[in-house]
């Protein structure tokens, strides 16, 4: 009886890289690599018995799928691009963290791109991330170049827009109405009896401008709108800048009796500067912010603000993305997560 050459042991089959491959798992489970692949992904009809054997084999060998090989073979990787304007703004840090917390356990890697509020830069990022064959895109807002829009559409990967909402059809978005939230704060101030309400803003990105619109809408319908009450500054938002904007606002004639800052970092700088100047907040001057950032509840006095649901937006959008990637039904294209007016002692 001729000796058959012995079957290659699992050890032998390992390549030079030392990596446990799908082939190793298949050998161990006594099935073909393709069946092993299907069992592990669970996307095709495989008998429960076989699937179980493969799963056990994979666990035993400590198999970890190779994302590069998977991406190359399937023309769709396990990464999802997340484009945000800037990470020194805590709003986007919260967004990143919540997206990451949903995507990572589901086996997806969030690739974070920072656009610096520049559509040209964003377009570049999209172009270079496309090479990574991302499974999907999570982008901030709707404001981008025509070319970027086309790149996203042509990629075939699903794209979800964050932070804003739209009523355009066929577009996925998770956010809230920046204009409505801003109008709500303005109305709160009007209701409190403030008459000359200034709007102080920095950065002047699309969402800030939407907030400006909400403010105008509310002021106009109360017949209180005065362009002299708008302090618009394109510099980067910061606590220190809040103090400067307050100083500028107080120079307008007649003086405002309230300042609505488009972001809490400015508002925090505003109340601190007011205190430094011995201005009584809210009796001489009311101050309101937006976003309810860390520390706003600790200010002197604690800050009235709009609590925005960025963590919920990130989580919801990430889950929506997972559904889209699984071809699950995604009935709602546009999810409005709302906002919450937080009245504290500064107004």
Contacts of residue 316, defined as CB under 8 A and 6 or more positions apart, other chains included, come to: 174, 335, 337
| Total chain residues near DNA (CB under 7 A) | 32
Question: What, of DNA, its own copies, none, does residue 88 touch, CB below 5 to 8 Å by kind?
Answer: its own copies
CB burial class (10 A; 0-12, 13-18, 19+) of residue 184? Answer: middle
For residues 44 to 83, the per-residue mask of contacts with DNA, x marking binding by CB under 7 A and - elsewhere, is xxxx-xx------------x-xx--xx-xxxxx-------
Pick 19 or 127: Cβ nearer DNA: 19
Site track for its own copies across 113-132, x = CB under 8 A: -x------------xx-xxx
Determine, following the binding rule CB under 8 A, whether residue 112 of this chain makes contact with its own copies.
Answer: yes
- How many chain residues touch its own copies (CB under 8 A)? 47
Question: Is 21 a residue that touches DNA (CB under 7 A)?
Answer: yes
Minimum distance of its own copies from residue 27's CB (angstroms)? 20
**Contacting range for its own copies; rule: CB under 8 A; set: 92-100, 216-224, 279-287, 321-329:** 92-100
The reply to whether 151 sits near its own copies by the rule CB under 8 A is: no
| Beta-bridge mates of residue 82 | 112, 138
- Smallest distance, Å, CB 299 to its own copies? 7
Given DNA, its own copies, none, residue 177, with its beta carbon under 5 to 8 Å by kind, binds: none
Q: Is 41 in the site for its own copies (CB under 8 A)?
A: no
Looking at the Cβ atoms of 124 and 149, the one nearer to its own copies is 124
Contacted entry of its own copies, DNA, none for residue 100, CB cut-off 5 to 8 Å set by kind: its own copies
Assess contact for 67 and 107: CB atoms under 8 A: no
Binding site partner of 22, from DNA, its own copies, none, Cβ cut-off 5-8 A by kind? DNA
Residue 44 CB, nearest approach to its own copies (Å): 21
- Distance, in Å, from the CA atom of 165 to the CA atom of 141, rounded to the nearest integer, reads 8
Q: Considering the rule CB under 8 A, would residue 66 count as an interface residue with its own copies?
A: yes
Shortest Cβ distance from residue 203 to its own copies (Å)?
15
d(CA 220, CA 332): 33
Minimum distance from residue 209 beta carbon to its own copies (Å):
24
What residues between 5 and 34 interact with its own copies by CB under 8 A? 17
Candidates 38-46, 99-107, 122-130, 240-248; binding stretch for DNA (CB under 7 A): 38-46
Residue 239 engages its own copies in binding (rule: CB under 8 A): yes
Q: Among residues 212 and 267, whose Cβ is nearest to its own copies? A: 267
HEC letters along the chain = CCCCCCCCCHHHHCCCCCCCCHHHHHHHHCCCHHHHHHHHHCCCCCCHHHHHHHHHHHHHHCCCCCHHHHHHHHCCCCEEEEEECCCCCHHHHHHHHHHHHHHCCCCCEEEEEECCCCHHHHHHHHHHHHCCCCCEEEEECCCCCHHHHHHHHHHCCCEEEEECCCCCCCCEEEECCHHHHHHHHHHHHHHCCCCCEEEEECCCCHHHHHHHHHHHHHHHHCCCCCHHHEEECCCCCCHHHHHHHHHHHCCCCCCCCEEEECCHHHHHHHHHHHHHCCCCCCCCCEEECCECCCCHHHCCCCCEEEECCHHHHHHHHHHHHHHHHCCCCCCCCEEECCCEEECCCCC
Residues that bind its own copies (CB under 8 A): 17, 64-69, 71-72, 75, 77, 87-88, 90, 93-94, 96-97, 100, 109-112, 114, 127-128, 130-133, 238-240, 243, 265, 268-269, 272-273, 275-276, 294-295, 297-300
């Amino acid at each position: 009886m001729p000796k058959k050459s012995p079957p290659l042991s699992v050890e032998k089959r390992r390549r030079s890289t030392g990596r446990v491959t799908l082939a190793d798992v298949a050998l161990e489970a006594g099935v073909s690599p393709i069946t092993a692949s299907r069992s592990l992904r669970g996307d095709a009809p495989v008998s429960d018995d076989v699937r179980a054997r493969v799963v056990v084999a994979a666990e035993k060998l400590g198999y970890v799928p190779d994302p590069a090989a998977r991406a190359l073979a399937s023309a769709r990787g396990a990464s999802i691009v997340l484009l945000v304007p800037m990470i020194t703004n805590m709003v986007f840090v919260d967004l990143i963290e919540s997206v990451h917390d949903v995507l990572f356990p589901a086996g997806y890697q969030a690739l974070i791109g920072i656009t610096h509020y520049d559509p040209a830069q964003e377009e570049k990022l999209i172009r270079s991330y496309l090479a990574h064959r991302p499974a999907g895109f999570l982008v901030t807002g709707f404001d981008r170049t025509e070319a970027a829009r086309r790149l996203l559409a042509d990629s075939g990967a699903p794209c979800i827009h964050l932070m804003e909402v739209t009523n355009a059809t066929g577009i996925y978005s998770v956010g809230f109405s920046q204009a409505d939230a801003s109008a709500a704060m303005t109305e709160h101030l009007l209701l409190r009896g403030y008459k000359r309400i200034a709007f102080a803003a920095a950065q002047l990105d699309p969402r800030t401008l939407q907030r400006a619109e909400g403010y105008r809408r509310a002021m106009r319908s109360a017949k209180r709108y005065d362009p002299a009450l708008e302090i618009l500054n394109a510099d980067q938002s910061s606590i220190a800048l809040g103090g400067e904007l307050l100083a500028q606002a107080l120079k307008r004639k007649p003086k405002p009796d309230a300042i609505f800052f488009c972001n809490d970092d400015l508002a925090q700088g505003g109340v601190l500067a007011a205190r430094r100047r011995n201005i009584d907040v809210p009796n001489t001057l009311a101050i309101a912010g937006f976003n309810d950032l860390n520390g706003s509840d600790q200010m002197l006095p604690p800050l009235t603000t709009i609590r925005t649901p960025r963590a919920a937006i990130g989580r919801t959008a990430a889950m929506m993305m997972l559904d889209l990637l699984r071809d699950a039904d995604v009935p709602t294209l546009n999810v409005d997560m709302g906002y919450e007016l937080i009245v504290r002692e500064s107004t």
